[in-house]
Amino acid sequence: MHEWDADTRVDATGDGRFAADLTDRWHSAGGRPNGGYLVAFCLRALGEVLPHPDPLVVSAHYLRPGVVGPARVDTEVVRLGRRLSTGEARLTCGDREVLRVVASYADLGDPTGRALDLGEAPDLPPPDECVDVYGGRRLPEVTVADRVDLRAPKPHGWVEGRPSGVPNAEFWIRFADGRPADTASLATLVDTAAPAVMELGVTDSATVELTVHVRARPTAPGWLAARVATRHLAGGYYEEDLELWDVTGRLVAQSRQLAVSAGR
């Protein structure tokens, strides 16, 4: 079993409830469980109670940091339809709710309707011609960096102590243990890279809300091309937009999150 599958396992306990166990293997800066990792528990639980196979739209509101150890996911089926089904999931650690997710599911294996793509995948050298974005360094307490591979033409400027002042980047990403990305795990991958605002010298931040649009099932295993950017930082709050494209040049996921810097 791959790391993501083992570390996001949920077990049904009846009445739409699931037992879970948060590990310390997916921590972001500050020693807190990564936001995309927390979302995975809610999506895996919703995947058990909704009839459609693929998360299509995910909206996650972070109420407080997650805590390593036993946790509970409570689900509620909101609507069942022919093309879409919608549910809500609440992740609780101890007696405190840490995350609430509303998600609509569909069947992305049976696309219908018009298709038009006016965007383009990032123009990157092949992954084997790129380098680790962290310059081969391991980041203290940031264990999520050990769960994913990130490669780009050169290391991020902030890693070398020289933030570029430009909060955007393009890079390759994949699970480090070779797990192929699927529609459920895409909502984790969109939040596993270091925030683009680190190129502005923002060293610690927390997500307030994360929205993920899953656009297609990846058609080939392996690397995904990522593009991330922040355009507005105001009062300590900033948005981050991210796209993921598979190796065939197909857009598979988009996300936007609103986050707040710790030093606001």
Is a pLDDT exceeding 80 seen at residue 90? yes
* Global pTM value: 0.95
CB-based contacts of 117, cutoff 8 Å, min separation 6: 251
Render pLDDT for 170-229 as a digit per residue (tens, 0 to 9). 999 999 999 999 999 999 999 999 999 999 999 888 999 999 999 999 988 889 999 999
From the CB of residue 9, how many other CB atoms can be counted at a distance below 10 Å? Answer: 15
Domains of the chain (ranges, CATH numbers): 3-108+121-261 (2.40.160.210)
How many residues in total does the chain contain?
A: 264
Distance from CA of residue 249 to its chain's centroid?
A: 20
- Strand runs labelled E in 121-167: 131-132, 148-152
pLDDT given at position 114? 81
